[in-house]
Structure 1
Amino acid sequence: MALAVTVGAGAGVGSIVFRWCIQTFTRAFSGHADYTAVPGAVNPHVPWLGPCFVLIAPVIGGLLYGPLVNRFAKEARGHGVPEVMVAVAQRGGRISPKVAVVKTLASALTIGSGGSVGREGPIVQIGSALGSTLGRMVKLTEGRLKLLVACGAAGGIAATFNAPLAGVFFAMELILGTFSAEAFGATVLASVTASVIGRAAFGDVAFLDLPAFHVDHVAQYGLFALLGVVAAVVGVGFSRLLYLIEDACDWVWRGPEWLRPGVGGLVLGVVLLALPEMYGVGYPVLQKATEGGYAIGFLLLLLVGKMVATSLTIGIGGSGGVFAPSLFIGAMLGSAYGTVAHDLLPNTAGAAGAYALVGMGAVFAGASRAPMTAVVILFELTGEYSIILPLMLAIVLATITSHLLSHDTIYTLKLRRRGIDLEGPVRGAQIGTQLVGSFMDPLPSSLRASMELTDAVDLLSLSGYGALPVVDATGRYVGTVTARSVAEALAEEPGAAPTRVGQVAELPTAVTADQPLAQALHALLSAGGTGVPVLDPGHGSPVGWLSHQSALRAVHAIA
């Protein structure tokens, strides 16, 4: 817990330094605190260039951060979150400490010189690197080290967005991929600590001043539901376009990698000259859209422009997040959708700003498939409980639709393109690629669901697995029963306690004989006993038993 507080404090300070760097570089390259607040204005440092300075700023920025990333930390390139995810899933939470420094400078240079990316991905990677470094310094176990990495991510999000709850859910939903009391407690401590430090520096206000939210008519829920489906399509489309443009940049570029951001910066500059609202993160533009400040056609232009500008920034080797661009795209989509709905149904649709807010969360959920984070962060940004119902409806539908449209999220697709499957075997690992059926134990004797618990005690106590399969009267497999669940049942008040095996049987995560061991190990580690039944892939009936010992036999087979 003390380490979680320390990491949270580090992430909070890191957020302050990172935002200061962004502001400093933005003023240096554009002459303004935030160029998107005055899009198309001249740079007072070089007024003779007029608005054309945006052609040069990304080139200079790329020539600075390109060699920095290529020489010291190649993992600092891109949007950051996938690198943290794979570090936790497959590298034991180990992240190089130099990532924090390189990511801070590279991302600040990217955003300050016009790169159309967000600051949440970098601060997640920065905070996670701090957590990993501290954990290894004090020689934490691998499980605790991963948790400290998640604490760094939570603290970074909390301090950046002044959203402590969103930081917690982001860390558990995307970084850890699991929920537990220990993880929740530690990430809350880190998130609260980072938020306190962030609020001391930036004030106790949300980073956006969003309009009041209210639902005027019950029929609006139907419109919000449809918006969730449309937002999922846009979110998945953003993911695909991001990597399509990255592939195009890879195909076109044949020079040294350190020079790529500088040369590619010229193309990005052309985009910024045509649409200066794409400079940097673009929060002033996002806020103006939620207030109804743009016409429908321009909103759609901004939507497409952000997709292209963000994809191009990352494709040329820039460093920055996709969280904020997802919110930006969602705001443009929601505002345009709400304007159309208001024109068609003026007495029912309500204000367009409400749809902009819901669109922000729905597009992010569609791209990342992190529904709880999306709901919580929009709630924290508005501070209004009335947003919850329409937001939950749209985000859940966006998540479901996204899952139907694509197997991967905007984060996991980057890893899969590298040949990394977070749920599959790790390349080069001693255990992982072998099939379960090659190393499983013989199936132990099954228990009848109708058997008295007291009769099952002897069989479970003699079993070496601490769990046994359960079948019904027809011999159909219905789950497993563990020694722990039987012991708990026998310790309850006799009148209310279960009396038969079938009443305490549970279905563990299915493991089939044709599965790789890497996938089956997730089910084995989360099982209540020391083993799980192996099912026939065709009929779903047990054909063997997988235990930790049988999994370890795969190592001897390789040797």
Structure 2
Amino acid sequence: MSLPSSVRYTIKFLMAMILTGVIAGLVGVVLSLILHVVQHIAFGYNLNEVFSTDNFLEAVNASSPLRRVLALVACGVVVGVGWWALYRYGKKTMTIEQAVKNEPHQMPVFTTVVHGLLQMVSVGLGSPLGRELAPREVSASFVGWLSQKMELTEPDIKILVACGAGAGLAAVYNVPLAGALFTLEVLLVSARWQCVAPAIFTSTLAAVIAWAGLGDEQQYHISVMQLSYSLVAWSVVIGPIIGVAAFYFVKITAAAKKAAPKDAKLIPLALINFLLIGVLAIPYPELLGNGKEPLQLGFDGSLTIQLVATLLVIRFFITVTSLRVGAKGGLLTPGLMHGGLIAILFGSLWNYVFPAAPMGAYAIIGATAFLACSMKMPLTAIVLVLELTGVNHDSLVPMLFALVGAIGVFNLLKQVSSNKEITPIKE
């Protein structure tokens, strides 16, 4: 006796859901392996321990000035030639958001894989952009292709493509709950149980599978945060400031991405941009990579205020110029870093007048609020930072105060900006 068609379809969907988690976990491991191999070759540290706990910044510090410049020149070649060739000979790229919203929900697999590989290689060579976009895109493209082959319905393919992207994030950063929330809050914009269960399952499975290569470790380590009235008051003050900074960060980076060339001009522009970054990295090795190491130093309280201010300005500049010349990558880790460094600056001023708090406490609050605004995902940002750092429960109260103030000002500025754009000019 054969099973009813509805039961057979449910079994097929469950199989696709399991495969989504497996695919995302394996993609996360493979792309991370590629990133680490490139870093080890470029900056000359132990290739026998590709997944070791070696610190990228320590390796950059140990490398010669010439090696830093050559690594960034190589990055310019990869960015310029790689993306020019992809635009010239590949299919048109598609964002995850476009794949989720539009039917059919299918990203071009080969183009997306090459796009992801270029991102990981360029970040490994020192690009200031994030590495989390590539595993999301590649996972989503494979899942979309698989779902089409399994002849699932379009609504279910949409759910699984979004789950693949969230699970890719969960795999590379070991953040299963944040990966699920990203799927629900950012991509599907839904809390229906038909979406919640697959999102949680696929992100958790992907993270567990990634443990085999990446380990079950936090991305950042911070000391225990002690809650105080001074810290809470500071969080109320810093929220609007973070909102202003995040608004202009989003506006400027979006304009840079939109203006990026897709023709042969990409090659010389990329070479010039990354050569400049290589030269700047001679006195400031903290400029290289996606911003994880400077943020960790901020959490540790190991940065001088002068260095914080310098890094904040230069890293913002090279992030924008890298996007402008055509480099691709995520803005999640760069957003965390910018928010953290801004918070340290204002936290140091606060400590001159009011009872002091550790720099790490300021950094984690500012990073969360900035990420919530810049990526429009408040719930995901909170859970992501909690999973990335393992920070204690005391952080939630100031984190929430800062987040509310930041989002309020961010949305206000967005409204004002929109009104200006549609207001006709009077003669």
CA distance in 2: counterparts of 1:208 and 1:285, whole angstroms: 11
249 and 317 in structure 1: CA distance in 2 versus 1, 3 angstrom threshold: closer
Q: Which of these residues, 7, 10, 14, is aligned with residue 27 of structure 2? A: 14
101 and 247 in structure 1: CA distance in 2 versus 1, 3 angstrom threshold: closer
**SS state at 1:197 partner:** helix
Q: Which of these residues, 391, 396, 401, is aligned with residue 399 of structure 2? A: 391
407 and 10 in structure 1: CA distance in 2 versus 1, 3 angstrom threshold: farther
Per-residue deviation, residues 401-424 of structure 1 (Å, max 9, x unmatched)? 211112599xxx9xxxxxxxxxxx
CA distance in 2: counterparts of 1:184 and 1:254, whole angstroms: 42
> What is aligned with 1:355?
362
CA distance in 2: counterparts of 1:75 and 1:287, whole angstroms: 40
Structure 1 residue 289 corresponds to structure 2 residue 298: yes
14 and 408 in structure 1: CA distance in 2 versus 1, 3 angstrom threshold: farther
CA distance in 1: counterparts of 2:416 and 2:216, whole angstroms: 36
Q: Which of these residues, 140, 143, 165, is aligned with residue 128 of structure 1? A: 140
CA distance in 1: counterparts of 2:357 and 2:76, whole angstroms: 44
Structure 1 residue 240 corresponds to structure 2 residue 261: no
CA distance in 2: counterparts of 1:37 and 1:142, whole angstroms: 48
Report the alpha carbon displacement of residue 72 of structure 1 after superposing the two structures with TM: 3.8
394 and 149 in structure 1: CA distance in 2 versus 1, 3 angstrom threshold: same
Report the alpha carbon displacement of residue 352 of structure 1 after superposing the two structures with TM: 2.2
Report the alpha carbon displacement of residue 387 of structure 1 after superposing the two structures with TM: 1.8
CA distance in 2: counterparts of 1:60 and 1:205, whole angstroms: 31
Higher strand share: 1
> What is aligned with 2:107?
95
Q: How does 1:472-511 map to 2 (within 5 A)?
A: none
59 and 237 in structure 1: CA distance in 2 versus 1, 3 angstrom threshold: same
Structure 1 residue 372 corresponds to structure 2 residue 386: no
Structure 1 residue 229 corresponds to structure 2 residue 250: no
Equivalent residues of 1:246, 1:315 under 8 A apart: yes
**SS state at 2:281 partner:** helix
CA distance in 2: counterparts of 1:254 and 1:408, whole angstroms: 35
**SS state at 1:208 partner:** coil
Q: Which of these residues, 80, 85, 99, is aligned with residue 71 of structure 1? A: 85
CA distance in 1: counterparts of 2:131 and 2:349, whole angstroms: 31
> What is aligned with 1:36?
57
Q: Quick one: which amino acid aligns to residue 306 of structure 2?
A: G
Q: Which of these residues, 154, 168, 172, is aligned with residue 166 of structure 2? A: 154
> What is aligned with 2:332?
323
Q: Quick one: which amino acid aligns to residue 15 of structure 1?
A: G
Q: Which moved more, 1:320-329 or 1:273-282?
A: 273-282
CA distance in 2: counterparts of 1:249 and 1:90, whole angstroms: 24
Q: Which of these residues, 60, 71, 83, is aligned with residue 74 of structure 2? A: 60
Report the alpha carbon displacement of residue 19 of structure 1 after superposing the two structures with TM: 0.8
244 and 101 in structure 1: CA distance in 2 versus 1, 3 angstrom threshold: closer
Per-residue deviation, residues 318-372 of structure 1 (Å, max 9, x unmatched)? 22110000011112112222222222212xx422211111111111112122100
CA distance in 2: counterparts of 1:63 and 1:373, whole angstroms: 35
> What is aligned with 1:476?
none
TM-score relative to the length of structure 1: 0.66
Report the alpha carbon displacement of residue 284 of structure 1 after superposing the two structures with TM: 2.3
CA distance in 2: counterparts of 1:190 and 1:247, whole angstroms: 32
319 and 228 in structure 1: CA distance in 2 versus 1, 3 angstrom threshold: same
CA distance in 2: counterparts of 1:283 and 1:256, whole angstroms: 31
357 and 167 in structure 1: CA distance in 2 versus 1, 3 angstrom threshold: same
CA distance in 1: counterparts of 2:132 and 2:89, whole angstroms: 16
Report which structure shows greater RCO (CA 8 Å, sep ≥6): 2
41 and 63 in structure 1: CA distance in 2 versus 1, 3 angstrom threshold: same
Q: Quick one: which amino acid aligns to residue 359 of structure 1?
A: G
CA distance in 1: counterparts of 2:131 and 2:88, whole angstroms: 18
CA distance in 1: counterparts of 2:181 and 2:367, whole angstroms: 17
Higher helix share: 2
Equivalent residues of 2:172, 2:210 under 8 A apart: yes
Report the alpha carbon displacement of residue 73 of structure 1 after superposing the two structures with TM: 5.9
144 and 269 in structure 1: CA distance in 2 versus 1, 3 angstrom threshold: same
Report the alpha carbon displacement of residue 212 of structure 1 after superposing the two structures with TM: 1.6
Q: Which of these residues, 296, 316, 319, is aligned with residue 307 of structure 1? A: 316
Report the alpha carbon displacement of residue 380 of structure 1 after superposing the two structures with TM: 1.6
8 and 249 in structure 1: CA distance in 2 versus 1, 3 angstrom threshold: closer
Equivalent residues of 2:178, 2:380 under 8 A apart: yes
Report the alpha carbon displacement of residue 97 of structure 1 after superposing the two structures with TM: 1.1
Q: Which moved more, 1:332-341 or 1:352-361?
A: 332-341
> What is aligned with 2:409?
401
Report the alpha carbon displacement of residue 274 of structure 1 after superposing the two structures with TM: 4.6
**SS state at 1:273 partner:** coil
**SS state at 1:28 partner:** helix
Taking every aligned residue pair, what percent have the same amino acid on both sides?
A: 25
CA distance in 2: counterparts of 1:290 and 1:116, whole angstroms: 19
CA distance in 2: counterparts of 1:344 and 1:401, whole angstroms: 25
> What is aligned with 2:209?
197
**SS state at 2:95 partner:** helix
Q: Quick one: which amino acid aligns to residue 363 of structure 1?
A: F
Q: Quick one: which amino acid aligns to residue 273 of structure 1?
A: I
Report the alpha carbon displacement of residue 92 of structure 1 after superposing the two structures with TM: 3.7
Q: Quick one: which amino acid aligns to residue 31 of structure 2?
A: F
Q: How does 1:156-171 map to 2 (within 5 A)?
A: 156-171=168-183
CA distance in 1: counterparts of 2:388 and 2:74, whole angstroms: 35
Equivalent residues of 2:84, 2:263 under 8 A apart: no
Report the alpha carbon displacement of residue 246 of structure 1 after superposing the two structures with TM: 4.9
CA distance in 1: counterparts of 2:249 and 2:89, whole angstroms: 22
96 and 247 in structure 1: CA distance in 2 versus 1, 3 angstrom threshold: closer
> What is aligned with 2:154?
142
Q: Quick one: which amino acid aligns to residue 51 of structure 1?
A: P
Report the alpha carbon displacement of residue 258 of structure 1 after superposing the two structures with TM: 5.1
Per-residue deviation, residues 417-456 of structure 1 (Å, max 9, x unmatched)? xxxxxxxxxxxxxxxxxxxxxxxxxxxxxxxxxxxxxxxx
